[in-house]
Structure 1
Amino acid sequence: MVGIQFALVAALSGLALAAPQKPRNTRSGDWKSKIKNVVILVEENRSFDTFAGGLTYSSQIDGLVHHNYCNSMNASDPAQHDDVCAGPRANDVAPDDPNHSITGVNMQLFSTWHPEEVTVDKYHEAENMRGFVTEQSVTFSTLNKTRAAEAINYYTPDQVRVFNSIAENFVLFDRWFAAVPGPTNPNRAYITSGTSAGHGENDNAFNVYGMPQKSIFQQLSENNITWINYQNSTTGPGLGFNPDAAFYEWTGASGKNVTNIKPLTQFYADAAAGTLPQFTYINPECCSYQSFHPPSPITLGEQFIKGIYEAVRNSPQWEETLFVLTFDEHGGFGDHVPPPLGVPAGDDITYTELAHDGKNYTFDFTRLGVRVPTILISPWVQKGVIESKGTNNGGEYTHTSILKTINELWGLEDLTPRVSYSSTFEHLITDECRTDTPATLPNPFPYTD
């Protein structure tokens, strides 16, 4: 009997020992205690539907797999209705670089270059997202439907293996809007300062340290928070598409252009050594081989983000890192979700340009740009989450959500009303530091794994 009792006690003890234990990689408490480093990579010129609309790993993604998205070759002709439809046949190298000027985007979103002529009560109705093919046809003087359809065609998961793998392992935003319905540098200015100071095109001010507003780079320096803008420009500051920190008067005047703008090779060395700054901002080259901006091949862009991801993931700093991968703007490529209207501008400065019809259009920056693919990457976020409309702060997810979340992390002031409006994403940080995040990603198509 004693032997039986001893055996029973031993068995129960064994069960107790086998009971689930709290994982050692779980850490409760404020999200700010988990994130010490922020990494931002901003790629170029792809809409959500073009790049992520064909992803199939989750039925929650608001893309094109289950959505019939069509445009007309002539959006102004009521006799033509949806005669060109999107399909999973986007090219590795886009044959054309779609128009993404502010008035060109007007046509894409409103089927007119002058949405201000639409009455207020029909303004939302007029934002029909049906003019991408028309604008492509006009810009490139073509009636070839196959060529024009490239503006709305999309990629399959196999064509974007790297992006697909990152998305299904972390958090994909399917309602993240560019800051400006226009070109690269105004959007990048909003990303890094909360406004473009009235600039609606890639004018020379961006090339000569000509932007007067306070940037996140200045703000970080004033608060003793370390930062580096790593860049892979083929031209360099003052000679072409500058790295984003080089937009600003302060950067040149303070000498930070010498001390805090570094080549991309330094990023890889710093990541490997575990010496990345608190804020890492990465510019790809623009615009021919790794930025996704046409004529950059998708395969080479994928290879680039694979290298950046693996450097961050395998860095000694990984378990304290929040990494955001996004695109500066849609580049004229199609999307079926209308951007929000009536949002706060960064300031009260307007921008005027000449539309294709020879008439001026003035833009006040009170509506967002087209959706762009964005992923939140960290061991502290859950796997395979699809994040839609912002749940914090009342606003939408947009490029200035990065600034607003950084402000929450490091106790900084909002630079502009647009920053104050933007939804933050710290609620996506969990109490568990995952150990299943991939150390390497698949090779891009058509490379062999």
Structure 2
Amino acid sequence: MVLIGKLSLLCIAAATALAAPTSADWKSKIKNVVVLVQENRSFDTFAGGFTYNKEINGLAHHKYCNPSNITDTKSQQVCANQLDAAHNVAGDDPNHSMSGVNVQLFGTADPSESAIKSGKLAASMQGFVTEQESSYKTNNLTRASEVINYYTEKHIPVFASMARNFVLFDRWFCDVSGPTNPNRAYVTSGTSYGHGRNDNLFNYGGLPQKSIFQQLSEKNITWINYSNSTNSDTGYIVPPAPAGVTGFNPDALFYKWTVESGAAKTNVKPFKQFLVDAAAGTLPAFSYINPECCSYDSFHPPSPIETGEQFIKTVYESVRNSPQWNETLFILTFDEHGGFGDHVPPPVNVPAGDNLTYTEKGHTFDFTRLGVRIPVVLMSPWLPKNHVEHKGTNNGGEYSNASILGFLAKLWDLENLTPRTAWSSTFEHLFTKKFRSNTPSSLPDITDFP
């Protein structure tokens, strides 16, 4: 009993040390926020192999297996490992449509949403291998197992160094159990406005809801969406794309307001401008970065892990060595899990961004459950080293990408954009009183993939 008491006191002391002393104190420390949203990796496959901190809820100390056929209780078990198929270039891009994710989580494309809400049906997280086999019409279990196998620190030394030196979240979820653009809409507006697939309305000004970009402009808070997602000299494409211009429009271009207000012309810039602005100390209050997608530096298959690592290294070192670093928060997150496996069931019965629904293959989704866990690191000289953050502790919610909007609302005294952003847990309590002068100015060099 005495030992338990001492441990409790230690836990309380540790929590107190991380607590921000007052609202005004943490707000005064952060004047610039940089958000980089990479592509399509689950927590387990990307950070689940980390062993530097025993608190990490990954696969290094957790055996995770899927049946080869989720409908057959006697089918062969396929277990995650880091030896066979943690490839530099994923051979198969997993299905991450809403119906595919339903199979991955529940074993069927059409689970009962009422049973999920009532607690009678829980996500087993056992359908990843089955869905991979189905998507690629293969019975090769070594090939299919790539969907649940994982990387280690030697595979991704840059991301691992970020996690070691700052704050890694191991219970942060994407907002939609589906693909890229609906999730990116939640990152930037707190709702996908009923969209559950990457339809054409995302291409250029098709979404009517208020975004963080509009909200900041209305408050005279500076922002730029830096885009590495197109080779256009302007950073965005006005459809139809001119000859020789390729890529995807950055996330600010989802919104009708961005196009009609003229912000597309003034506040969207190519990524090379980010490097110039960071070096000059002229980054805006809010920098939002779109990576290239999906063959080079985004981590989205078939993007090589090596080039993705080089890209996040470039962004970090540009931010860290900027004259603005002492007042900057850098958030590295992922839009969604990309169909890759994870053993932690996502939360259910959460507030949606609005009351709109989406139907795919007969299944209607109302956005009241989160998507799969994703790896997230927060970086700032005002954050602790080697801290693993678990479940959210405020607002009654969990961590998801909507937490970024909830945090910005507190930082800059904005209204919450949606019920989801108001509910999502924020992370201001992680900032400390002490400035860290030992944050690394450079991260490991990229060598040949192991």
| Residue type of the alignment partner of 1:177 | F
1:340 aligns with 2:347: yes
Unaligned 5+ runs, structure 1 = 1-25, 355-359
Q: 1:383 aligns with which of 377, 382, 385?
A: 385
User: Per-residue displacement from partner, 1:175-221 (whole Å, max 9, x unpaired)?
Assistant: 00001010000000000000000000000000021000000000000
Cα distance in 2, alignment partners of residues 169 and 177 from structure 1: 22
Q: CA deviation at 1:87?
A: 0.3
Q: CA deviation at 1:77?
A: 1.2
Q: Provide the secondary structure at the position in 2 that maps to 1:325.
A: strand
Q: CA deviation at 1:353?
A: 1.1
| Residue type of the alignment partner of 2:202 | F
Cα distance in 1, alignment partners of residues 349 and 364 from structure 2: 15
User: Per-residue displacement from partner, 1:337-369 (whole Å, max 9, x unpaired)?
Assistant: 000001000001100112xxxxx1111000000
Name the structure 2 match of 1:440. Answer: 442
Cα distance in 1, alignment partners of residues 391 and 449 from structure 2: 36
Q: CA deviation at 1:114?
A: 1.2
Cα distance in 1, alignment partners of residues 178 and 230 from structure 2: 23
Distance 1:295 1:258, change over 3 A: same
Name the structure 2 match of 1:362. Answer: 364
Q: 1:94 aligns with which of 78, 90, 95?
A: 90
| Residue type of the alignment partner of 1:435 | S
Name the structure 1 match of 2:130. Answer: 134
Cα distance in 2, alignment partners of residues 70 and 124 from structure 1: 23
Name the structure 2 match of 1:244. Answer: 251
**8 Å Cα contact 1:349-1:364 kept in structure 2:** yes
**8 Å Cα contact 2:189-2:212 kept in structure 1:** yes
Cα distance in 2, alignment partners of residues 206 and 116 from structure 1: 29
Runs of 4 or more off by more than 2 Å in structure 1?
26-29, 117-126, 234-241
**8 Å Cα contact 1:348-1:364 kept in structure 2:** yes
Q: Equivalences for 1:238-317 in 2 at 5 Å?
A: 238=239, 239=241, 241-317=248-324
Cα distance in 1, alignment partners of residues 104 and 116 from structure 2: 19
Question: Could you state the TM-score of these two structures normalised by the residue count of structure 2?
Answer: 0.90
**Alpha-carbon RMSD:** 1.7
**8 Å Cα contact 1:74-1:134 kept in structure 2:** yes
Cα distance in 1, alignment partners of residues 212 and 74 from structure 2: 50
Q: Equivalences for 1:1-400 in 2 at 5 Å?
A: 30-80=25-75, 83-89=77-83, 90-116=86-112, 119-120=115-116, 123=119, 125-234=121-230, 236-237=236-237, 238=239, 239=241, 241-354=248-361, 360-400=362-402
**8 Å Cα contact 2:191-2:354 kept in structure 1:** yes
Q: Provide the secondary structure at the position in 2 that maps to 1:126.
A: coil
Q: CA deviation at 1:125?
A: 4.7
Q: CA deviation at 1:447?
A: 7.2
Unaligned 5+ runs, structure 2 = 1-19, 242-246
Q: CA deviation at 1:234?
A: 2.8
Q: CA deviation at 1:277?
A: 0.1
User: Per-residue displacement from partner, 1:88-144 (whole Å, max 9, x unpaired)?
Assistant: 131010000000000100000011111117735874653100000000000000000
| Residue type of the alignment partner of 2:407 | T
**8 Å Cα contact 1:27-1:432 kept in structure 2:** no
Cα distance in 2, alignment partners of residues 368 and 117 from structure 1: 13
Distance 1:121 1:413, change over 3 A: closer
**8 Å Cα contact 2:116-2:348 kept in structure 1:** no
Cα distance in 2, alignment partners of residues 164 and 433 from structure 1: 22
| Residue type of the alignment partner of 2:253 | A
The answer to which of 194-203 and 119-128 deviates more is 119-128
| Residue type of the alignment partner of 2:65 | C
Cα distance in 2, alignment partners of residues 362 and 185 from structure 1: 18
Q: CA deviation at 1:80?
A: 1.8
Cα distance in 1, alignment partners of residues 139 and 118 from structure 2: 30
| Residue type of the alignment partner of 2:80 | A
Q: CA deviation at 1:30?
A: 1.4
| Residue type of the alignment partner of 1:33 | S
Cα distance in 2, alignment partners of residues 119 and 428 from structure 1: 36
**Higher CA-based Rg:** 1
Q: CA deviation at 1:294?
A: 0.2
Identity of paired residues, percent? 65
Cα distance in 1, alignment partners of residues 201 and 41 from structure 2: 24
Cα distance in 2, alignment partners of residues 148 and 179 from structure 1: 26
Q: Provide the secondary structure at the position in 2 that maps to 1:115.
A: coil
User: Per-residue displacement from partner, 1:271-306 (whole Å, max 9, x unpaired)?
Assistant: 000000000000001100000000000000000000
Question: Could you state the TM-score of these two structures normalised by the residue count of structure 1?
Answer: 0.90
